[in-house]
Structure 1
Amino acid sequence: MTHPKRWKSLPVDRTRHYLEPGPVVLVSTAHNGERAIMTLGWHMMLGYDLVGTYIWDANRSHALARASRACVINLPTEGLLDTVVRIGNCSSTEQDKFERFGLTALRSREVDAPRIAECHAQFECRLHETRITADYPLFVWRVVAAHVAPSPRVPRTVHYRGEGRFMVAGHEVSRRRLFRPDMLAQ
């Protein structure tokens, strides 16, 4: 195994260029007849069915998620990239984003928030952890229902790297043979 011969300093605010949290998602929320969609890049898996999301309190989705205690985390793919960026550039207080961007709202099975039909997968979530600090609005969600398109098996998801640049994933490499059998669960 080789390693770089030299490294250069990197401003710490560019860490996300290398340690992005995962694919960009669209979070849909609803409460009292109002619905919203937001683009979200700040999320993390906390367990097999627990997902943490950082939703800034200035977003309308924050208020709807807190009030309803539910959301749907929708997984867009490369074909929706321009729409994903445009959704992130506007507020749900201005106009219904489903209508504005021609997205199809699907009824969820377990929560009131709508799923987005154009997304490869949708994860219906209920709020699991309510201790959200004023400085860090971290929501911890439990996935209560999951829906995924049967193909492609490995979708081309988009990952934000900062400065308006994305990486597209979709190439899968297996190292199953290197794992201990008990480590292959999930």
Structure 2
Amino acid sequence: MRQLKLSKAFTLMESGPVVLVTTHDGKKDNIMTISWTMVNDFTPVFAITTGAWNHSFAALRKNRECVIAIPTVDMLDKVVGIGMCSGTDTDKFARFKLTPVQGKVVRAPLIKECLANMECKVIDIVKKHNIVVLEAVAAYVDTARKEKRTLHAVGNGTFIVDGRKIDRRKMMAAKIPSGA
């Protein structure tokens, strides 16, 4: 094996999928691209890593809610573009021709063009590591959407796209919660 620089170790575990997180600051909607996500157990609790460097973080901290929207591979250039500009001076819904949809629980909008959306409440912020812990309070999937492959950031400007699905549900049945 060849040794890898520790500064690149994160590229071995960069999770996925890349998500879009919407917020509402009381005046306007915003979107940020996040590739650092984590599922916590089989409950609808998730975590993202973000901080003051993202314009949306102040709204996330203040209003304690957001929407996690899951884009697909056909949206890659929009996903990257959203991450390359700031909501301080850009209406990202308008610039990237995305449709905000009012959810049922939180004020932040869903994104119509995404495969899935989860309305979330902030249940904890771990300041030391910039981890925002979220609980999903509503979830939606666009079953009519033809493109369903999601994106996974490697962390160096490249992405991996989901491929074929391999089913091992029977083998893992004892560990999968009922209804999953």
| TM interval, short-chain normalised | over 0.9
After the TM superposition, which of the residue ranges 66-75 and 150-159 deviates more from structure 2?
Answer: 150-159
2:88 is aligned to 93
1:63 positional shift = 0.3
**Residue pair 1:53, 1:139 contacting (<8 A) in 2 also:** yes
| Counterpart among 151, 174, 177 of residue 182 in structure 1 | 174
1:151 positional shift = 4.2
Matched, 1:61 2:56: yes
Matched, 1:166 2:159: yes
CA distance in 2, matches of 1:27, 1:50: 15
After the TM superposition, which of the residue ranges 109-118 and 155-164 deviates more from structure 2?
Answer: 155-164
1:21 positional shift = 1.6
CA distance in 2, matches of 1:55, 1:85: 16
CA distance in 1, matches of 2:154, 2:83: 15
**Residue pair 1:128, 1:142 contacting (<8 A) in 2 also:** yes
Letter in 1 for 2:17: P
TM-score, normalised to structure 2, is 0.92
Identity of aligned residues (%): 36
1:52 positional shift = 0.6
1:3 is aligned to none
TM-score, normalised to structure 1, is 0.90
**Residue pair 1:30, 1:113 contacting (<8 A) in 2 also:** yes
Letter in 1 for 2:158: R
**Residue pair 1:73, 1:125 contacting (<8 A) in 2 also:** yes
Q: Which runs of 5+ in 1 are unaligned?
A: 1-6
1:32 is aligned to 26
Structure number with larger C-alpha Rg? 1
